[in-house]
Structure 1
Amino acid sequence: MSRTSPADGIRFAFGTLTALPVRVTRWDREAARAGMQCAPLAGLVVGLCAAGLGGALTLLGAGPLLAAVATAAVPAALTRGLHLDGLADTADGLGSAKPADEALRIMKQSDIGPFGVITLLFVLLAQVAVLFELYERSWAEGAVAAVVSAAAARLALTLAARTGVPPARPGGLGAAVAGVVPRGRALLVAAAGAGAAAGAGALLGPYGMARTAACVVLALGAAELLLRHCVRRFGGVTGDVFGGLAETAATTALVVLALG
C-alpha cells in the first residue's frame, strides 16, 4: 500500500468530521492516524465559517442574540448534527445505569431518550448564552470564541484517538480511529493547539492570550474526564462518545471565555 500523504489525512479529517463535500480516498489505520492529527484543522475551518456568519449578521445590523444563535448553528449544520447526536446518545447511555452491553445498545438506537434531550437543551442554551454575551461585548470576542471553541472540540478528538484508548465495539468510526495517534504526537498537537489559541487571543490583548490558552487547556481537561468515564463505563470509545467529547470541549471552552 502506498504511503499516506498529508492530503489523505486532510481528506479523512474533513470527510469524517464535517459535512463538507470532501471524498475520503483511503479508509485504513494509516489514513485515520493522519486524519485525527488533522482534526483541529477541520475545527478551524468550521469555526471560521461560524465566525463569518456571526460577523456578517452583525455587520448587517443584527443583534448579538441572532448572531449567537447563527454562530452556534453553523457547527451543527457543518457536521449534520452528528456531534450533537453523539452527545445525546452518550448521555442516554451513561444515564441508563445499565451494564455496558445494554448501554451501548441504547446508544445505538435511533431515538433520543430523556437524558439526551435534557443534555442537548442545556448544552445548546449554554453555547448560545455565552456567544450572546461575547458578541454583546464585541464582534471580535464572539468571533475568536467561535474559532477557538471549534478547534478545541477537534483537539479533544485527537487526544481521544491516542494509543491506549480502546474501542467499545468492533465496528464504526470509534473502532476505526481508536488508538491510532501515538500518545506523544497527540500531546504535541494539543500543545500546538493551545499555542495557536493564545495567538488568536492576542487580537483581544495580553489577557486575551492567557484566557484563550486556558480555555483550550480546560476544555481538553473536561473532555478527558468524560473520556475516562466512558472508557470505564462502556469499555472503550464509540463514534457517539467522540461526538460527546467534541461538544463537551466546545462548551467548556466557551464557558471559560465568558468567565473573563
Structure 2
Amino acid sequence: MKSIWMEWLGAIAFYTCLPIPPNCPMQLAGAAKWCPWVGLLLAMLLWGAQWLLAFLHVPPLVASVLVVALWLGLTGGLHLDGAMDTADGLAVRDQQRRLEVMADSRAGAFGVMAGLVILLLKVAALSSLERGQVLVWVLVIGRLAQVWAIARYPYLKPQGTGQIHKASGVFPRDFWPSGLLVLLLSFLLPLPLGQLLFGLLLILLIPAWLQWQLGGHTGDTYGAVVEWTEALMLVALTVGSVN
C-alpha cells in the first residue's frame, strides 16, 4: 500500500502542477500506470471550474477558453509541449534528424501550428458541449492512450523524461488501475457505445501512427498521444450534441 501511495504522489508530481508537501515520499518508477487516475482528478477540477463559470453566467465560448487555459495550467503545458515538439520532428523529412529536432527546446512553425489546432479544437468542442462530466472521459481516455503507448511500443532514447516510465513498467499487470477506472466510469458516467468505441479506437491508432512515423516513442510523443486523443475525443463528443 505504501508503494501505491508513493507511485500516486509521483504521478501527481510528474503530470501536474498541483502542490505536494515536500516531505511526502514519492517515486516516479511505476507512476505511469496511475496517469488515468490523475486525469480523473484533473477532470473533476475542470468540471468544478466549468460549473462555477456557468453559475456566474459567463458566456460558453469565454468559459471554454478559461477552462482550457486552466487545463493547460494544471498540467504545466507538459503534454502540449510534447505535441508541439513531435510536430516539429515529424515535419523533418530526414528520419535520422527527427529526434534531434524534437529535443530542441525552441518551438518551430509546425509545432506552433499543431499547438494552435489542438487548443482551438478543445475550445470549440468544449463550448458546444452541455455536459461538463464528459471531461472525465476525455482526460481519462487521453491518458489511457499514453499507458498503451508506453506498454506497447519501444522507447527510442536511452535517456529522457519518459524513459523511467517505460523501464519501470510491468505489463499487462500495470493495466489494472486503468481497467478498474474504466469499469467504474462505465457505471457512473456511461457514454454512448459509439463514442466509447471511438475513444478506444483513438487509444490504438494514435500511438500506432506515431510508432509508424518514428519507429517508437519518446516523452514528447507520449505528450502528443495525450493531446491529440483528448482533442479528437472532444470533437467526437460534440456529434449529436447540437440540436
TM bin (shorter chain): 0.7 to 0.9
Structure 1 or 2: more helix by fraction: 1
Q: Give the alignment partner of residue 115 of structure 1, picking from 94, 110, 114.
A: 110
Change (3 A) 1:258 1:9: same
- Alignment partners' CA distance in 2, 1:197 and 1:242: 23
For residue 83 of structure 2, what is the amino acid of its counterpart?
A: L
Please point out which of 54, 63, 68 is paired with 1:67: 63
Aligned-pair distance for 1:216? 4.7
2:80 alignment counterpart: 84
Q: Is the 8 A contact 1:223 1:248 kept in 2?
A: no
| CA pair 80-130 structure 1, distance change in 2 beyond 3 A | same
Identity %: 29
Equivalent residue, structure 2, for 1:146? 135
Considering Cα pairs closer than 8 Å and 6+ residues apart, tell me whether 1 or 2 has the greater RCO.
2
After TM superposition, list the pairs within 5 Å mapping 1:1-260 onto structure 2.
5-22=3-20, 25-27=25-27, 31-33=28-30, 35-99=31-95, 101-135=96-130, 141=131, 143-162=132-151, 164-178=152-166, 180-201=168-189, 209-211=190-192, 214-260=194-240
On the 8 A contact 1:172/1:239 being kept in 2, the answer is: yes
Gaps of 5+ in 1: 136-140, 202-208
Q: 1:193 to 1:256 in 2, by over 3 A?
A: farther
Q: In 2 relative to 1, CA 40–125 (structure 1 residues): closer, same or farther, beyond 3 Å?
A: same
Q: In structure 1, the residue corresponding to 2:29 is in which secondary structure? A: helix
The 1-side partners of 2:93 and 2:205 are apart by: 18
Specify the code of the residue in structure 2 equivalent to 1:149: V
Instruction: Provide TM-score, normalisation by structure 1.
Output: 0.82
Secondary structure of 1:173's counterpart equals coil
Coordinate RMSD, CA, aligned = 2.3
Pairwise CA distance, 1:257: 0.9
Work out whether residues 206 and 229 of structure 2, in 8 Å CA contact, stay in contact via their aligned partners in 1: no
Contact 2:37 2:181 in 1 (8 A): no
Q: Which amino acid aligns with 1:118?
A: M
1:183-237 Cα deviation digits (max 9, x unpaired): 3335544444433333343xxxxxxx242x6545433432432322333433322
Structure-2 change in CA distance of 1:221 and 1:124 (3 Å) = same
Match of 1:138 in 2: none
- CA offsets per residue over residues 21-74 of structure 1, 9 Å max, x none? 2358454xxx522x1221111111111111111110110111111221122122
**TM-score, structure 2 length as denominator?**
0.87
Gaps of 5+ in 2: none
Rounded to whole Å, the distance in 1 between the matches of 2:187 and 2:92 is 42
Are the aligned partners of 1:161 and 1:179 in contact in 2 as well (CA < 8 Å)?
A: no
Paired residues of 2:162 and 2:218 also in contact (CA < 8 A): yes
Inter-partner Cα distance in structure 1 for 2:60 and 2:12: 29
